[in-house]
Amino acid sequence: LTFSLLSATLLVSFGSSMLYGYNLAVVNSPAEHIKTFYNATWSQRYGHGLALAPLTLLYSLTVSIFALGGLVGSLLVGVLVERYGRNGTLSRSALLVLLAGGFMGFSRELASPEMVIIGRSITGLHSGRCYLGCKIAPKNLRGFLGLMPSIFICLGVFSAQVLGLPELLGKDRFWPLFLSLVVIPAFLQLLLLHCFPESPRYLLIERNNVCEATKALHQFLGTLDVQDVIEEMKEEQRSLSSVEMVSVWQLLQDRSVRWQTLSVVVVNAGMQLSGIDAIWFYTNTIFENAGIPVSQIPYTTVGTGAIEIVAGLIGCFTIEKLGRRPLIITGFCAMGICSAGITVSLLLQTALPWMRYIGVACVVGIIAGFCMGPAGVPFLMTAELFTQSHRPAAYIVGGSLNWLCNFTVGFIFPFLQMSAGAFCYLVFCGVCLLVALYVFLIIPETKNKTFMEISHIFA
């Protein structure tokens, strides 16, 4: 693992994945302040405040609109990369984040809740991209670098939790600044991105530029002997010379990859329907319902963030030894069991006050289980299960489902919690256990295998 390859992965993860994680958690601690701002603005405009249901609806839209922006971004990323290259796409996306930060930062001064919602949707548009690490890494490092973005997602969540403490930016007057801090990693990525070449795989397979791909590999791998990697990519290119890139519709109709496609659908939808977005978006509300004193909730939340970073590091450093399947199966099983545990703790906490701590432990278990495997493996699997001709369409399918399910959970969870109470977590429990069973029965191990070998296994 060379300094250049690690630096490129860190830079992309810092400017993309960390922002994604930050935006997942940034609306959690200032939730009541944002609702108060919405209510005051509505009263100023129309002479009366908002009732509970419309206010919940407006805030749920603010939370979940991030995912709709991500959906649009995931649909556009292929076209943008083909036109501008990977670095060019990242640069343009970073500029969008600077715009979004301006919208959210000045929303209160201009008394405009719409600016918060627009800013959230633009940050989602930036986050709707494919990971870079597994595209530039040799097969023995695809797992490690493929999970690196998940570490930065955890770091982004943790950063939002720490900055949201009452002693920092958790006060009412600071929430616009809190939301607009997304501009810092975007600006740094924009500043440093030109130091790194394009993805070698993109240069050779998409642009047929062997010379530039070789130079990029020299820089990323730190060696002049890159012929084996070049030959592997050329072999894939030759195998695709008579094959056109398939569309999403063609992918869904292609019987030769139907199990790969179904696997992408299951793991990507399951990742978001597992309940992790409800945990990240509404952590404070969940802890409050679990009976944790309000004054202790911000610090309990920060503690869960620290644990998820440790869990992510464990997954990152063990994936090449343990493989993809054990991590994702164990992660989903742990999340399912802990979701059921939250339901039990909520039902019994009146009779047994100490059950509130079981509830907190279960929340930690869900986050830790997610970060160890389901956080990054589905994206990695999408890259590994398909050859280049099918991979863009597969990313569109997986990314679209990912963001649609993210939006669904973020928008519906407050209403589901109001209607089903403690039993709402059993929905997430069922999803997690079914996904774990599917992976156990259907998806093979992809560790240290080329894209062509994985394709032959499914065939």
Query: How far from the centroid of its chain's Cα atoms is residue 21's Cα?
Result: 7
396-434 burial: b if 16+ Cβ within 10 Å, else e? bbbbbbbbbbbbbbbbebbebbeeeebebbebbbebbbe
pLDDT in tens, 150-174: 778 888 888 998 998 888 898 888 9
DSSP reduced 3-state for 395: helix
Whole-number Å distance between alpha carbons of 178 and 26 = 7
Residue 3 predicted with pLDDT over 70: no
* Residue of higher predicted confidence among 127 and 102: 102
**Fold adopted by 249-458:** Growth Hormone; Chain: A; (1.20.1250)
Whole-number Å distance between alpha carbons of 162 and 113 = 25
Encoding tokens for residue 362? Answer: 């279960």
Local confidence band at 241 (pLDDT 50, 70, 90 cut-offs): low
Residue 134 predicted with pLDDT over 50: no
Contacts of 52 (CB under 8 A, 6+ apart): none
Q: Same fold for the domain at 1-196 and the one at 249-458?
A: yes
- Of 165, 166, 160, 99, the C-alpha closest to 126 is 99
Q: How far apart are the first and last CA of the chain?
A: 32
pTM of the entire predicted model: 0.78
pLDDT, the chain, mean: 81
User: Domain 1-196, CATH 3.30.300.30 — does that match?
Assistant: no
Across 19-48, average pLDDT = 89
Across 131-136, average pLDDT = 47
* Residue of higher predicted confidence among 367 and 144: 367
Local confidence band at 266 (pLDDT 50, 70, 90 cut-offs): very high
Model pLDDT, residue 129: 61
DSSP reduced 3-state for 135: helix
Please tell me what DSSP assigns to residue 89.
H
Whole-number Å distance between alpha carbons of 137 and 155 = 22
Local confidence band at 144 (pLDDT 50, 70, 90 cut-offs): low
**So where are the chain's domains?**
1-196, 249-458
pLDDT in tens, 399-443: 888 888 888 888 888 888 888 888 888 999 999 999 999 999 888
